Structure 1
Amino acid sequence: MRAAAADVVGILILCLASAAAALDFKYHHAKELEEYLRGVHAAYPSLTHLHSIGRSVEGLYNFTLILKNVFSPSPLKGRDLWVLVLGRFPTHHKIGIPEFKYVANMHGDETVGREILLHLIDFLVTSYGRDPVITRLLNNTRIHIMPTMNPDGFEATKMPDCYYTRGRYNRNGEDLNRNFPDAFENNSARIQPETRAVMDWIKKETFVLSANLHGGALVASYTFDNGNPVTGSLEGYSKSPDDDVFIHLARTYSSNHASMYKGTGCDSRQTFPEGITNGYSWYQLEGGMQDYNYVWGQCFEITLELSCCKYPPEDQLGKFWRDNKVALIEYIKQVHLGVKGQVTDKNGNPIPNAIVEAKGRPHICPYRTNEQGEYFLLLLPGTYVINATVPGFKSMLKTVEIRDNTGNFSALKQDFSFPDVSDKITSRVASCPKIPLYQEFTRASAAVKPTVHILVLMTVMLLIFK
């Protein structure tokens, strides 16, 4: 009997795995998307964790929900914002293992990213234990995948269309990629439920690297999307303190994509050398998600424009997956760039909220350790001085030689132990004020203060328009 029962269980597991792997190249609407994610989690429970980080604006307006709302003062619930987490420890953060995320479909009518992330999930779970590279990647990285940030917008877009539709926006008519707090100016847009859910998600997790997937162009765009003279906007380029890292990240994706690296764009009027661009150089954007991730979330994020047509026909989805497959994997590996470690007191207890940054490139919102005293800094190979600071105590400096460890799936490890600090320092303070941060030169990071030629140019302009 026991043997027979075991056989039945084994057959069920194989059936679930087959169902999870049977992913067609077609568009998956809300119900189908949820069913697929639930099927993957059921087939691979030890490798995946499925959860919703919040809900969208619009409810699933069926008869049952309408009746329920008539007899209840509570509003209709929106659609779930599903996230599938993959890794050796999918349910929780593990010290030393970096957190990575992909987010797609924040513009509901930009659909390619939504579908290729489902195929990425399929590829990862079916390759684990078979492909040594994917196995090591999942053993050493916690990967979060959100196929759609704007499920309402997708459902409002009824058929393939290469151009803008009303589905771009959420149910309240808001552009979610103009809806985040902005480091350069006061964003007057009312924070939407989808945006708030992502902000809370970023605050909860220790994300190190991310990308958001869009359509309508073919390019990898990097922060800053907004700017002012402090960051070089007078020259048409808004430069972050980690500009070298961002260029590398964008190039990593572009060079591994089937054609993005050619830089030809979508028509003769628009070209992108090497298939990359600074966001501000392309066009200025207020309230964007990638800038928010970098400034407030301590997470390096780039924007991937993956298709000239926003909502292409289904028969093209297979090619889009093949074009992006290698790039998606190679980009995830970059989460292991640079240096990581823990900051502890004399008793070995973690110190949260310690500032840890590379000397010469401080961030406008200082990068701080999490509750486990961990820090992760993405840095290109080279020699750096890492500065760890605990408020009220003398800073510690350590020189490190960083190599490219992405192939080894582990950044350089460098811990800091403060012998004069006791375990009494456990409180976590706000890492950054919720106001525009680059309004005055005195508030700007030393790493992004204007150069002499910019200051001269600004002086000349002031004299001309005086």
Structure 2
Amino acid sequence: LDFGHHNYKGMRKLMKKVNEACPNITRVYSIGKSYLGLKMYVMEISDNPGQHEVGEPEFRYVAGMHGNEVLGRELLLNLMEYLCHEYKQGNPRVRRLVTETRIHLLPSMNPDGYETAYKLGSELSGWALGRWTYEGFDLNHNFADLNTALWDAEDNEMVPHQFPNHYIPIPESYTYPNATVAPETRAVISWMQRYPFMLSANLHGGELVVTYPFDMTRTYWKAQELTPTADDAVFRWLATVYAASNLAMVDDDRRLCHYDDFMRSGNIINGANWHTVPGSMNDFSYLHTNCFEITVELSCDKFPHESELPQEWENNKESLLLYMEQTRRGIKGVVRDKDTEEGIADAIISVDGINHDIRTAFDGDYWRLLNPGEYEVTAAAEGYHPVTRSCRVSYEDNPTICDFRLTKTPKQRLCSWWKAAWMRLFLESSLAGSHPAAAAALPLPRQLAVTLAYSF
């Protein structure tokens, strides 16, 4: 592996090298540009790069949100090298991971900030230089605050019937061209909306701990407050998976980074119970998309020396792999139309007792992270009768398949029938004339079909 600090040019060169070494399982693409015009490159690793496969979960790692927290960037570059090499060597664990998961690695979310820190290096970069974007944005405070809208609606007993508990819309003011939103943030939001991610981790530095949502305190004036999500048990499991397999975190003899002793809580903490972060990427990801995301603080030192990078890779290698494998936890399936067998996009998947729903992707497939147990799961879609079934999640290393077939409501069925009739008779009606009255020359049943088809 290439252990060293890679500036923008070096990062591009390494990603190109990996892509050329494993062209059948990798793809490099850009999700946008930084304020200074540096492209935000992503490495996709999959057995079918460039396409979503029905039923296959999509995963992402993001690093470099704060440009001076550089270890995550190097770990993701090492990870793409490792996956390429081990796949070619026939490593069964890596082959299964690449075959069953579509992996996206964004090593530098804030490339402008990184270049600023890189120029001074690990000895002189300091605690803050390069943390912010060139424009001065802290990207982890720059996402839309959807928490407040949700909590206000909950206080008024509007959730979920009058206000959604998921896919909460972005406030219109946030989307204005003159809104105080960094181009890097806009690029990541667009990326989130374009791919059906179900699990993610955001790699930071400056501490040794894993945090999980919510990151923002519910009591707005409190700096610290335990603020769990509806999926608190799942998030605590996800955080524990990374922390318990990280060699540095489980070292009982390690020194504290600062004054917080996270070892007493298993090296995990609810983000808001550590310090409030309004507008965090984790909270936004959970409330606006289907994706569950945690933050990993990788090292006491934000800019470790090059000589430390091989050991940091060993500290994190198992954690990085094991966390990606959590895409197999819970349930997954496809919601289909019972008559046509076509997938239904945007069907709502709700789990009894958990006040947070998810939605199906464009092919009707979905993934719902759950801890082992028995669950009552309902699939509902506009124009269809909802269906509920029991789904049991086991401790096995595979998700439980929970497919649904929905029946159209009578009104929807009638609309679908007339739409099909219109499609079948469009050519014939065109031959009979461009106006419905010209259909009089057709047999009576077809006259009726054509006339009504034009009325829809």
Normalised to the residue count of structure 2, the TM-score between the two structures is 0.79
Task: Report the secondary structure of 1:166's partner residue.
Answer: coil
Task: Determine which of 118, 131, 150 is the counterpart of 1:168.
Answer: 131
Q: Does 1:386 align with 2:381?
A: no
Task: Judge conservation of contact 2:59–2:199 (CA < 8 Å) in 1.
Answer: yes
Task: Judge conservation of contact 1:162–1:312 (CA < 8 Å) in 2.
Answer: no
Residue 82 of structure 1 is matched in structure 2 by 41
* Distance in 1, Cα, partners of 2:104 & 2:284: 18
* Distance in 2, Cα, partners of 1:283 & 1:154: 24
Given the superposition, is the C-alpha separation of residues 198 and 115 from structure 1 closer, same or farther in structure 2, using an over 3 Å criterion?
same
CA offset digits 1:254-306 (Å, max 9, x no partner)? 01000213587734621111010000000000111111111112100000000
Given the superposition, is the C-alpha separation of residues 314 and 148 from structure 1 closer, same or farther in structure 2, using an over 3 Å criterion?
same
* Distance in 2, Cα, partners of 1:386 & 1:317: 45
Task: Report the secondary structure of 1:325's partner residue.
Answer: helix
The alignment-based identity, stated in percent, is 37
Residue 246 of structure 2 is matched in structure 1 by 257
Q: Does 1:204 align with 2:200?
A: no
Task: Determine which of 350, 355, 359 is the counterpart of 1:368.
Answer: 359
Task: Determine which of 28, 37, 42 is the counterpart of 2:15.
Answer: 37
Q: Does 1:353 align with 2:353?
A: no
* Distance in 2, Cα, partners of 1:162 & 1:297: 35
* Distance in 1, Cα, partners of 2:314 & 2:223: 40
Given the superposition, is the C-alpha separation of residues 241 and 420 from structure 1 closer, same or farther in structure 2, using an over 3 Å criterion?
same
Q: Does 1:142 align with 2:102?
A: yes
CA offset digits 1:335-364 (Å, max 9, x no partner)? 11100111111210111111112111122x
Gaps of 5+ in 2: 150-170, 417-456
Alignment of 1:206-221 (within 5 A): 206-221=196-211
Q: Does 1:180 align with 2:117?
A: no
Given the superposition, is the C-alpha separation of residues 121 and 386 from structure 1 closer, same or farther in structure 2, using an over 3 Å criterion?
same
Deviating more after overlay: 273-282 vs 394-403? 394-403
Task: Judge conservation of contact 1:220–1:254 (CA < 8 Å) in 2.
Answer: yes
Task: Report the secondary structure of 2:290's partner residue.
Answer: coil
Task: Report the secondary structure of 2:184's partner residue.
Answer: helix
* Distance in 2, Cα, partners of 1:352 & 1:27: 43
Task: Report the secondary structure of 1:212's partner residue.
Answer: strand
* Distance in 2, Cα, partners of 1:193 & 1:91: 24
* Distance in 1, Cα, partners of 2:255 & 2:236: 18
Given the superposition, is the C-alpha separation of residues 165 and 355 from structure 1 closer, same or farther in structure 2, using an over 3 Å criterion?
same
Residue 248 of structure 1 is matched in structure 2 by 237
Gaps of 5+ in 1: 1-22, 59-77, 426-466
Given the superposition, is the C-alpha separation of residues 146 and 268 from structure 1 closer, same or farther in structure 2, using an over 3 Å criterion?
closer
Task: Judge conservation of contact 1:108–1:152 (CA < 8 Å) in 2.
Answer: yes
Q: Does 1:339 align with 2:328?
A: no
The number of equivalent residue pairs is: 377
Task: Report the secondary structure of 2:34's partner residue.
Answer: strand
Residue 55 of structure 1 is matched in structure 2 by 33
Residue 297 of structure 1 is matched in structure 2 by 289
* Distance in 2, Cα, partners of 1:55 & 1:179: 16
Task: Report the secondary structure of 1:244's partner residue.
Answer: helix
Residue 155 of structure 2 is matched in structure 1 by none
Task: Judge conservation of contact 1:356–1:368 (CA < 8 Å) in 2.
Answer: yes
Task: Judge conservation of contact 1:179–1:192 (CA < 8 Å) in 2.
Answer: yes
Task: Report the secondary structure of 1:347's partner residue.
Answer: coil
Given the superposition, is the C-alpha separation of residues 234 and 311 from structure 1 closer, same or farther in structure 2, using an over 3 Å criterion?
closer
* Distance in 2, Cα, partners of 1:121 & 1:234: 38
Q: Does 1:411 align with 2:399?
A: yes
TM-superposed CA distance for 1:234, in Å, is: 10
TM-superposed CA distance for 1:162, in Å, is: 7.2
Task: Determine which of 64, 67, 83 is the counterpart of 1:124.
Answer: 83
Task: Determine which of 57, 62, 82 is the counterpart of 1:98.
Answer: 57
TM-superposed CA distance for 1:38, in Å, is: 1.0
Residue 7 of structure 1 is matched in structure 2 by none
Task: Determine which of 217, 223, 233 is the counterpart of 1:227.
Answer: 217
Normalised to the residue count of structure 1, the TM-score between the two structures is 0.77
Give the letter aligned to residue 102 of structure 1. Answer: Y
CA offset digits 1:72-96 (Å, max 9, x no partner)? xxxxxx0010000001111111001
Residue 440 of structure 1 is matched in structure 2 by none
TM-superposed CA distance for 1:395, in Å, is: 2.0
Task: Judge conservation of contact 2:224–2:275 (CA < 8 Å) in 1.
Answer: no
Deviating more after overlay: 274-283 vs 259-268? 259-268
Task: Judge conservation of contact 1:110–1:168 (CA < 8 Å) in 2.
Answer: yes
TM-superposed CA distance for 1:246, in Å, is: 0.3
* Distance in 1, Cα, partners of 2:61 & 2:84: 16
Residue 454 of structure 2 is matched in structure 1 by none
* Distance in 2, Cα, partners of 1:284 & 1:388: 35
Q: Give the number of the structure whose alpha-carbon radius of gyration is greater.
A: 2
